Structure 1
Amino acid sequence: MAMARMHNPAHPGAVLKEWLSDVSVTHAAARLGVTRACLSRILNEHAGISADMALRLEALLGTSADMWLGMQSAYDLWQAEQLPRPEIVPLNIAAPAH
């Protein structure tokens, strides 16, 4: 059974752009220890937030790495659900006993 997902969640780069609205991309990238191009790809929604970047954002902004990864996961799942896929017949196997 699929769980209900947020309708068209924001790309985490769009959220990060709001957080960094008063800071230049060059300055934020330097503080994060990444190139300006790397940060720009995220802010312009051409790249996602990796676990490493989530940890860097946690240190820079005082946010939670889990928050950034959760946003990325929600965005990725919603995007994947928009693509056609073949019908998949579930396996009828019992869950392992613990």
Structure 2
Amino acid sequence: MIQSFGSKETEELFHYHHSKRFHAIERVALRKLLQLHAATELRVLASPPGNQLEALRGDRKGRHSIQINDPWRICFVWRDSHCYVPPVHPGEILREDFMKPLGLTVNKLALELHVPATRIGEIVHERRRITAETALRLARYFHTNAEFWLNLQNFYDLEVSRRSGKVSEIERQVHPAPSLAS
């Protein structure tokens, strides 16, 4: 999970704020940041072909990078009324960072996972959640782990809920248990 950011602009992008600096690469950079945040092991980041995970050398030894596009990479150290960018659905990450680089179609992936093509189609078109079972299948096929896929889904679901306006309603309706309130 991401513990700190190298720049304020990167942190703002991670929190779904538009960035003038990263405007042209906003969506792909956000997808990559979410993958960094969702990964529980470094090897998981090596799995999406679109990441091109690289261990850096020389004076940057101990750091890694993943590709955004040709000139842009995210470098990181792996250790134990606003205008917001729309949340990234895990189906977008599946489509853009796994399927497209591998030339996989919805039908081909569905066959490989032994699931209906409609399930994969609905996920990549961002109309369906990734379930635990689908996460297990994706993890097995793409050499990741199920937590990676479920974390991406949970990040998306929480962000959608927060933006729905329900947070203030919940805060008005639900009061902390008396023994736990500070």
**TM bracket (short chain):** 0.7 to 0.9
Q: Within 1, Cα distance between the matches of 2:88 and 2:175?
A: 31
1:83 is displaced (CA, Å) by 1.4
1:74 is displaced (CA, Å) by 0.5
Given that residues 107 and 117 in structure 2 are in contact (C-alpha distance below 8 angstroms), is that contact kept between their aligned partners in structure 1? yes
Q: Which residue of 1 aligns with 2:110?
A: 29
Cα RMSD, aligned residues only: 1.7
Q: Within 2, Cα distance between the matches of 1:89 and 1:77?
A: 18
Pairing 1:79–2:160 present? yes
* Match of residue 123, structure 2, among 18, 42, 47: 42
Runs of 4+ in 1 over 3 A off after TM superposition: none
Q: Deviations over 1:26-47 (max 9, x none)?
A: 1110011111111000000000
Q: Which residue of 2 aligns with 1:12?
A: 90
Higher-RCO chain (CA-CA 8 Å, sequence separation at least 6): 1
Q: Within 2, Cα distance between the matches of 1:32 and 1:89?
A: 42
* Cα distance, 1:30–1:91 mapped onto 2, change above 3 Å: same
1:75 is displaced (CA, Å) by 0.2
SS in structure 2 of the partner of residue 71 of structure 1: helix
Aligned length, in residue pairs = 91
Q: Within 2, Cα distance between the matches of 1:79 and 1:54?
A: 20
Structure 1 unaligned blocks of 5 or more = none
1:89 is displaced (CA, Å) by 4.5
- TM-score, structure 1 normalization: 0.83
Q: Within 1, Cα distance between the matches of 2:115 and 2:157?
A: 23
Structure 2 unaligned blocks of 5 or more = 1-13, 17-85
Pairing 1:51–2:132 present? yes
Pairing 1:62–2:140 present? no
57-66 vs 85-94, greater mean Cα deviation: 85-94
* Cα distance, 1:38–1:92 mapped onto 2, change above 3 Å: closer
Given that residues 6 and 74 in structure 1 are in contact (C-alpha distance below 8 angstroms), is that contact kept between their aligned partners in structure 2? no
SS in structure 2 of the partner of residue 20 of structure 1: helix
Q: Within 1, Cα distance between the matches of 2:177 and 2:115?
A: 47
Q: Which residue of 1 aligns with 2:6?
A: none
